[in-house]
Chains A and B, each alone.
Chain A
Amino acid sequence: MESLDILFIVQLLIAGLLAGALYALLACGLNLVFGVMRIINVAHAELMLIGAYFAYVLYTFFGLHPLISLVIVVPVLFGLGQLMQRLFIERVVGQHELSSLILTYGLSIVLMNLGLAVFSADFKSIPVLQGSIVLGEMITIPITRSTAALVAIVITLMVYLFLKKTRLGKAIRATSEHPKVAEICGIDVVRVRMLTFGLATAMAGAAGVMLSTIYSFSPETGADFILKCFAIIIIGGMGSFSGAFAGGILLGVAEALVAGFFTTQWSEMVAYALLVLVLLIRPTGLRGIAYAR
């Protein structure tokens, strides 16, 4: 009996980790943008859906496997993100928070309706092979899900290393802490912000591609995700990359456990329950010294 329980929990933990990895990838990008510009991008989940539909189109018209699409989607969205920063977001940097919220909210509405116009409200999915690896007879690991999670983790890690180790990555961190001092160091902060938004968009796009392999999605799918992402970055600590990662994994696992022991409906609430819980114990979030880490 006992061993069955433990196996059941392990199974849930694995499912949670796999889902959490995707949350983490998405939330890290959102928090990166917040850290550098103090802007919450309400359209972040729509950027993810651009990635998902892009993969869908490449699959339907060219038969490309989403893993291959990744190589096309990521650079294109990196460019698209930079363009969006240049054209729209840059205008509200340093302005009142309401300006950026309204702008990005407007952007999300436009993108969603564009999606509805082009792809309709029907749910789409990409039928990739859905096998499983069975470990020790009891534990099953779904192949597509774990591939998606692995890709998400690798991309998140790569961006993390970029921020930690490279000259431009360090410039992003410096800009998020003191934009004026960064400028004095010769850093063109406008370009840093373009780079940042490009990176975040590319990360969201990659999350979308991986999403397309495991879920069905519609232009309205963004809403669920963005609310969870908000919860994650507050749980992890606003502006903290590693916090967003931890928060994403935590949410994935918590949702899976609740879904396993109670019902899926309850798991929809987990993000907010967790949010309240973390804020009660640590008002600045898991990785919280207020801003930017």
Chain B
Amino acid sequence: MRFADSSMDKHPLLTIRQLDASYGPVQVLFDIDMEVYRGEIVSIIGPNGAGKSTVIKAILNIATPCAGNITFNNREITKLPTHGVAALGIGYVPQGRIVFSNMSVEENLEMGAFLMKEHLARKVAVDKVFDQFPRLRERRRQLAGRLSGGEQQMLAIGRALMLDPTLVILDEPSLGLSPKYVDIIFEHLIALRDDGRTLLMVEQNAARALSTSDRGYALELGKNRYTGTGKELLANPAVRQMYLGGGNTLSTAPESFHENASPTACNAPTSLSPTSLSFHRTMGHTT
């Protein structure tokens, strides 16, 4: 199925409204607003520590927001437990291409379809993903820990596709991959969109992400800074200078995703903004 005519949809598939989030006493997201419409590729860009991953983790309730709300398909999901999100049709590819490395490629995919209770249904779903990623089929019995980085990223994407999600959320899908695999991964992302899926991704490789995206959001210090179509953002001098210039495409170490430091309530009298405001250059929003 295709939803190429996304402009016809009045209601966004995913809406984020006035989202605040904090880790312990440190608030990292301030009043974030975002929308994702069916059939779009939307990118979130921004420098290290801008809060990109936290936005995504809030959608999945891995990070608990302290204010604001998130709706998916007109349904409020702000407080939905993480394990309930997959069933709604949201697939997630975490930062750092995390796979179950002591399990085989096939078992990793089966885990992606954990909610399918029928063994046969899982097999069929695994086969569908193998059709998309023939490389994974060749390695089906290998331990995922033995795959190359690019193959692991394919596996992580494949796992997120197992339940045939409407929305696929990807955190830094090209981070740390060889240029060849970056190309391959982006081809796959476009193929996913052409397949009728909606994509929301975080990318450090902002130029690449924006040129692939329908729309983008640029974050800075946990706030919405700019938004627009991919082309507009690419053409915007301010965005070019802040996000596409100075070293932002450098890759960082994969973050400690499995650590237990999940954010707590927003009691946060301390926030980053007062001190860090001095960094801000005053620039208008693009439209």
* Chain A positions near chain B (C-beta within 8 angstroms): 94, 167, 170-171, 173-174, 177-189, 289, 292-293
User: Nearest chain-A residue to B110 (Cβ)?
Assistant: A170
Whether B258 contacts A179 by the Cβ 8 Å rule is yes
> A293 to chain B: which residues have CB within 8 Å?
102
Per the bound structure, the CA–CA distance linking A57 and B32 in Å amounts to: 63
Whether B100 contacts A174 by the Cβ 8 Å rule is yes
Additional A-B contact list (11), CB under 8 Å, known A94-B260, A178-B98, A187-B83: A173-B102, A180-B82, A181-B98, A181-B100, A184-B62, A184-B82, A185-B86, A186-B83, A186-B115, A187-B111, A188-B83
Q: Least Cβ distance of A236 to chain B in Å?
A: 15
User: Nearest chain-A residue to B82 (Cβ)?
Assistant: A183
User: Nearest chain-A residue to B118 (Cβ)?
Assistant: A167
> A184 to chain B: which residues have CB within 8 Å?
60, 62, 82-83, 85-86, 92, 94
Per the bound structure, the CA–CA distance linking A188 and B119 in Å amounts to: 19
User: Nearest chain-B residue to A166 (Cβ)?
Assistant: B119
Per the bound structure, the CA–CA distance linking A180 and B82 in Å amounts to: 8
Q: Least Cβ distance of A208 to chain B in Å?
A: 30
B114 in complex: contacting residue of A171, A178, A292, CB < 8 Å? A171
Whether A185 contacts B112 by the Cβ 8 Å rule is yes
Whether B100 contacts A173 by the Cβ 8 Å rule is yes
Interface size on B, residues (CB 8 A): 30
Main secondary structure of the interface of A (DSSP, over half): helix
Contact residues, B49-99 vs A (CB, 8 A): 60, 62, 81-87, 92, 94, 98
Does B129 sit within 8 A of A, measured CB to CB?
no
> B258 to chain A: which residues have CB within 8 Å?
178-181
> B107 to chain A: which residues have CB within 8 Å?
170
Per the bound structure, the CA–CA distance linking A187 and B110 in Å amounts to: 12
Whether B114 contacts A186 by the Cβ 8 Å rule is yes
Closest 6 pairs (CB-CB, A-B): A186-B86, A183-B82, A186-B115, A94-B260, A183-B83, A188-B83
Q: Least Cβ distance of B146 to chain A in Å?
A: 12
Whether A185 contacts B159 by the Cβ 8 Å rule is yes
User: Nearest chain-A residue to B108 (Cβ)?
Assistant: A174
Whether A185 contacts B62 by the Cβ 8 Å rule is no
Q: Least Cβ distance of A221 to chain B in Å?
A: 35
B102 in complex: contacting residue of A177, A186, A187, CB < 8 Å? A177
Do A174 and B83 contact each other (CB < 8 Å), given the known contacts A184-B94, A185-B159, A293-B102? no
